[in-house]
Each structure stands twice: as structure tokens, then as C-alpha cells.
Amino acid sequence: MKQSSRMKKIEIKDLTTKELIEKIQDEKLMLTKMKLNHHINPLDNPMKIRHTRRNIARLLTELRARQLKEKIKR
């Protein structure tokens, strides 16, 4: 399983909207797997769950900001 690392704002802003949506889906899937694995066999570092959850929040925040910016332009 791929390890989740903290994404920086610059890295997130450089993603296209399509890449952003794909990344959100990947991170959510990874979070679900990590939670399930953690219940069965505790993870070495349970903080990975928190970092993944916060990455998802960062990605969703950027996506929402883009949606609002798009709405204002219309």
C-alpha cells in the first residue's frame, strides 16, 4: 500500500481539476483500507490515518475553491 505523505498547498494547486478529483478518490480508498487494516491488525503508525484524512480535507478545500471561482466567473 502506498504511503500517504502530507501534500503541500503548492502541490495541490498545481494539480488539474481532473487530477484533483482522482487524487481525492485515491486518498478516500486508501483511508478506507487503512481503517479496515487498523481494526484487524493495528498499524505501525496510526497517525497515517490522521494525515490521510487531512490530505483529503485539503484536496476537497481546493476543489471547492475552484468550484466557487468558476461560479463567480459566470
Q: How many CB atoms lie within 10 A of CB 43?
A: 13
Query: Is 22 domain-assigned?
Result: yes
Q: How many CB atoms lie within 10 A of CB 37?
A: 13
pLDDT band at 1 (very low <50, low <70, confident <90, very high): very low
Structural domain containing residue 57: 9-73
In this structure, are residues 59 and 23 in contact, taking their beta carbons and an 8 Å threshold? yes
Lookup result for grid cell 487498523: 38
What cell does 14 get?
Answer: 498545481
Query: Is 1 domain-assigned?
Result: no
Query: Is 29 domain-assigned?
Result: yes
25, 54, 49: which is closest to 37 by C-alpha? 49
Question: How many domains does the chain contain in total?
Answer: 1
Query: Is 17 domain-assigned?
Result: yes
pLDDT computed for residue 74 by the predictor: 79
pLDDT band at 7 (very low <50, low <70, confident <90, very high): confident
